[in-house]
């Protein structure tokens, strides 16, 4: 059994979706397909949630109608009249669910309301794809991921209830896999009260890993618009190198530092179950891509570069000149934890604690309010965090030549620098 995950770029248009057919037809074992929302649908749904937050309901409903029309046109281009007429009631039910979510938007619980809206994208695209595969004589059963992935109520970053999820996945997927493809959605799940949740941005990879671990898949393949796992983001760096094989431990380091290729949560269930992960290119499906597995013998990695922009460097200094030791560290960490602020890089001196974080102004203001009585807080904005694994002096010099270094940390294998132009 294999798990294939297709991202938004792979189904960005009806033509793109059609090009996936040979990839799926070539699979000779039972198959689970995990699908993202197509194109920029998630961004558009997020815009609806933000419009609701600003109490611009008319604007939100106008955006919703645009999304509805785009999906109807997409389905009409792809499907026969009979197949479209068969799937349209399912699409219409999801359009209605979106309208209800806008009408019921709760300003006091934005994260909950956000998830009810944003989850619709994957449900729409997967309904269309399932209809297309059945039209092409590939027996396919659509399953709502909210009936598979059970979570807690941490909206926008839900934690999986593995015991209940395992039961639901085995009960619903195993019977289908004996005679059909299972097609479901990435990124979404549901609470015990059947409220929709999301697993964090780019969470579709995580969904694929969850299903693979529970179903004991032979492998997981994530289909992207790049030739494999690259040593740097090609959107940020002109010259990149493909990595043919890489270990899970190396990839988890990349994910921790902010690389967007593999979702950070994806690695753990696959590594724990010793399931290899393939990163493949849907534009060139016969290419080897990259394999990620537990052990990679005699690996020689190029410098692996991760750049996080829009960073803020905070310096938190004790007002009474007490040392930053266990008691102060505990108090500071507790506030970061309570405010759900991820620290990307830390360093502490005698009376100060330095943290590099994503620039989210509401969180920073809340942090200053919580710590301001006992600590003085200063900040450097418009920074970026550069991480280089397996760095060389040449690469380091090339990437930092025109920048001011605010903070640097270096080990034998990893260099991190907070930079400003």
8 A C-beta contact, residue 115 and residue 197: yes
pLDDT of residue 201: 67
pLDDT of residue 295: 85
Q: Which residue, chain included where needed, has tokens 């068969």?
A: 86
Q: What is the mean pLDDT of residues 377-381?
A: 96
pLDDT of residue 177: 98
Domain boundaries, the chain: 2-293, 304-420
Task: Measure the CA–CA gap between 32 and 275, rounded to whole angstroms.
Answer: 15
Q: 2-293: which CATH topology?
A: Carbamate kinase (3.40.1160)
- Residue range 181-190, pLDDT digits in tens: 999 999 999 9
Mean pLDDT of the chain: 95
Task: Measure the CA–CA gap between 93 and 88, rounded to whole angstroms.
Answer: 9
pLDDT of residue 255: 84
- Residue range 204-220, pLDDT digits in tens: 999 999 999 999 999 99
pLDDT at 345 over 70: yes
- State whether residue 371 is helix, strand or coil: helix
- Residue range 47-75, pLDDT digits in tens: 999 999 999 999 999 999 999 999 999 99
CATH: 1.10.287.3610, 3.30.479.30, 3.20.20.70, 3.30.2130.10. Which one for 304-420?
A: 3.30.2130.10
pLDDT of residue 270: 95
pLDDT at 261 over 90: no
Q: Which residue, chain included where needed, has tokens 């005679």?
A: 179
pLDDT of residue 408: 96
- Residue range 265-289, pLDDT digits in tens: 899 999 999 999 999 999 999 999 9
- Residue range 153-183, pLDDT digits in tens: 999 999 999 999 999 999 999 999 999 999 9
Task: Measure the CA–CA gap between 40 and 12, rounded to whole angstroms.
Answer: 8
Angle value at C-alpha 68, between 21 and 18, nearest 5 degrees = 10
């Amino acid at each position: 059994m294999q798990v294939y995950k297709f991202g938004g770029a792979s189904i960005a248009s009806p033509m793109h979706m059609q090009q996936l057919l040979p990839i799926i037809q070539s699979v000779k074992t039972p198959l689970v397909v995990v699908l993202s929302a197509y194109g920029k649908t998630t961004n558009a749904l997020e815009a609806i949630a933000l419009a609701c937050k600003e109490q611009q309901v008319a604007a939100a409903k106008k955006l919703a109608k645009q999304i509805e029309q785009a999906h109807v046109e997409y389905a009409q281009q792809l499907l026969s009249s009979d197949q479209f007429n068969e799937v349209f009631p399912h699409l219409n039910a999801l359009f209605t669910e979106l309208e209800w979510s806008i009408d019921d938007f709760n300003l006091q619980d934005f994260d909950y309301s956000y998830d009810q809206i944003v989850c619709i994208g994957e449900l729409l695209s997967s309904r269309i794809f399932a209809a297309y595969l059945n039209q092409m004589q590939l027996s396919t059963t659509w399953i709502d991921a909210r009936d598979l992935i059970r979570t807690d109520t941490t909206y926008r970053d839900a934690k999986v209830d593995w015991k209940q999820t395992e039961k639901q996945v085995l009960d619903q997927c195993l019977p289908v896999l004996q005679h059909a493809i299972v097609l479901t959605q990435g990124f979404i799940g549901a609470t015990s009260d059947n409220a929709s949740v999301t697993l964090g941005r780019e969470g579709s990879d995580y969904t694929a890993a969850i299903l693979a671990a529970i179903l004991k898949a032979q492998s997981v393949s994530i289909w992207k618009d790049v030739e494999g796992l690259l040593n740097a983001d090609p959107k940020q760096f002109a010259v990149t190198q493909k990595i043919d094989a890489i270990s899970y431990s190396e990839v988890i380091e990349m994910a921790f530092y902010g690389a967007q290729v593999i979702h950070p949560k994806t690695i753990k269930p696959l590594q724990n179950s010793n399931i290899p992960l393939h990163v493949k290119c849907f534009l060139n499906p016969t290419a080897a891509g990259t394999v990620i597995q537990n052990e990679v013998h005699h690996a020689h990695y190029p410098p692996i570069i991760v750049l996080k922009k829009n960073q803020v460097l905070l310096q938190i200094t004790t007002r009474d000149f007490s040392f930053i030791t266990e008691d102060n560290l505990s108090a500071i960490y507790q506030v970061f934890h309570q405010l759900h602020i991820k620290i990307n890089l830390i360093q502490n001196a005698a009376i100060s604690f330095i943290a590099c974080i994503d620039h989210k102004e509401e969180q920073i203001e809340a942090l200053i309010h919580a710590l301001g009585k006992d600590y003085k807080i200063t900040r450097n904005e418009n920074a970026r965090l550069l991480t280089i694994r397996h760095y060389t002096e040449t690469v380091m010099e090339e990437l930092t030549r025109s920048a001011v270094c605010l903070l640097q940390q270096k080990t034998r294998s990893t260099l991190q620098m907070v930079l400003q132009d």
